[in-house]
A = this chain, B = another copy of it.
Amino acid sequence: MTVQDFFPIWDRLTPDQQTRLRASAVPRTVRRGAVLHSGDADCAGLLLVRAGQLRAYILSDQGREITIYRLFERDLCLFSASCILRSIQFEVTIQAEKDTDLWVIPAEVYQGVMEASAPLANYTNELMASRFSEVMWLMEQVMWKSLDRRLAAFLLEEAAIEGTDTLRTTHEAIANHLGSQREVITRMLRYFQSEGMVELSRGRVALLAKDRLRALAEGTA
């Protein structure tokens, strides 16, 4: 995978712009758990995910977390370079969920090209609109959907991402994704277990009845 693979509008950049993006991209490898960008502390640059998995989350004053979106192979992370856009005034933390290989394009290089290139500016617009849509979706979940539906949807999504019906995770980690508390998640998972939808063991949640979890997630249960 090369830098240009991340930009469907690559052919509409000038040779000079292509060179600037390509030459400035720095390869970097981070371990699972590493924090790549934290709040407004830094402006790490644009992150291009070559392999691995990142998550973006926000943090409450009390230290509670909620995942706002995830980034996979071939995704491009804009908000680690939020200094590019003056109007972005929220703080997102980016953390590696798996060992991850990246390219980092310095914020000022990206900004320089974007200011001169309508195709890159419009592509950046699309990226932001796409993240915006994910956050609006999450907001709707948080506003209107009950936690049991959100938890069922989350378990199914994890199973799809990991390619297994036996998830290796903790109740605490699930709570941090959903903006909830460990005790609340434990209670809900025990309820799911009593209904025969999951089976719990130390550090594991096995999905036993995905059709019923899906009906619950979709509100057709």
Contact = CB atoms under 8 A, between A and B. Distances in A.
A188 B75 CA distance: 34
A87 interface: yes
B140 A139 contact: no
A128 interface: yes
A187 to B, nearest CB: 9
A126 interface: yes
A88 B132 contact: yes
A117 B179 CA distance: 40
Contact of A121 (B60, B118, B139): B118
Contacts of A142: 139, 142-143
B126 A124 contact: no
Protomer copies: 2
A137 B90 contact: yes
B146 A62 contact: yes
Interface in A140-193: 140, 142-144, 146-147, 179
A125 interface: yes
Contacts of A124: 125
B122 A128 contact: no
A54 B60 CA distance: 30
A105 B128 CA distance: 22
B126 A125 contact: no
A171 B142 CA distance: 22
Contact of A136 (B90, B115, B146, B147): B90
Give the 6 A-B residue pairs with the shortest CB-CB distance, closest first: A121-B121, A90-B136, A87-B129, A87-B130, A60-B144, A85-B129
